[in-house]
């Protein structure tokens, strides 16, 4: 059963039916799924989700789609030892205070499958900060979330973001591959 009421613009509140759109036609803000929380109460719970299949479809009640396709990406599970190793490498390169642990979130990427084969290749995903410290602090102060990278309002500090991302990736790879 779906508890989805429709889509609602995060910026101006404009509502529209569920359809393959993600940008508001009134203000270009991002659409978010609107749920019937009253109906969900007591029915969609941690337990009901835990009982579901070990795939994306355990979240079926929260998805704005009507049918199961059987297609789903697996969650990224960071390998603990690899993560610790890369964190140390990045802290040395970027500075102790510039590498932060974030609360875990449920997310899927194509490469998550590599960690699930018989070889169990260790995998690791890190996020790259993309806005100035000023913007970051302002968002923390106001509690207003910064636009995600899928938002039309995503505006990274491009030069510094690319430089830091390349530096972090290359440094980690060189260390892991045993070259200096
Ligand atoms: Zn809007």
Cα–ligand 1 centroid distance for 20 (angstroms): 16
* Per-residue buried b or exposed e for 10-36, using 16+ beta carbons within 10 Å of the residue's own CB: beeeeeeebeeeeebeeeebbbeebbe
- Secondary structure of residue 63 in the 3-state scheme: coil
Strand ranges (E), the chain:
4-9, 15-16, 31-35
Per-residue pLDDT of the chain (180 residues; tens, 9 = 90+): 678 899 999 999 999 998 888 899 899 999 999 999 999 999 999 999 999 888 888 888 888 776 656 666 788 999 999 999 999 999 999 999 999 998 888 888 888 888 888 888 899 999 999 998 899 899 989 988 888 888 888 989 999 999 999 999 999 999 999 865
CA dihedral 23, 29, 31, 36 (to 10 degrees): -160
Confidence (pTM): 0.58
Which residues have C-beta within 8 Å of that of residue 88, sequence separation ≥ 6? none
Cα–ligand 1 centroid distance for 58 (angstroms): 30
Cα–ligand 1 centroid distance for 83 (angstroms): 39
């Amino acid at each position: 059963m779906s508890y989805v009421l429709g889509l609602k613009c995060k910026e101006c509140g404009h509502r529209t039916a569920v359809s393959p759109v993600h940008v508001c036609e009134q203000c270009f803000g991002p659409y978010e799924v609107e749920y019937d929380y009253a109906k969900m109460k007591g029915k969609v719970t941690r337990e009901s989700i835990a009982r579901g299949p070990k795939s994306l479809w355990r979240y079926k009640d929260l998805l704005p789609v009507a049918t199961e396709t059987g297609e789903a990406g697996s969650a990224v599970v960071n390998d603990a030892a690899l993560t610790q190793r890369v964190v140390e490498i990045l802290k040395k390169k970027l500075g102790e205070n510039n590498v932060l642990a974030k609360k875990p979130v449920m997310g899927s990427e194509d490469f998550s499958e590599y960690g699930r084969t018989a070889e169990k290749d260790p995998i690791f995903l890190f996020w790259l900060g993309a806005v100035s410290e000023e913007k970051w602090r302002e968002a923390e102060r106001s509690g207003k979330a910064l636009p995600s990278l899928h938002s039309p309002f995503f505006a990274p500090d491009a030069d510094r973001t690319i430089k830091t991302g390349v530096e972090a990736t290359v440094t980690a790879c060189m260390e892991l591959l045993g070259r200096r």
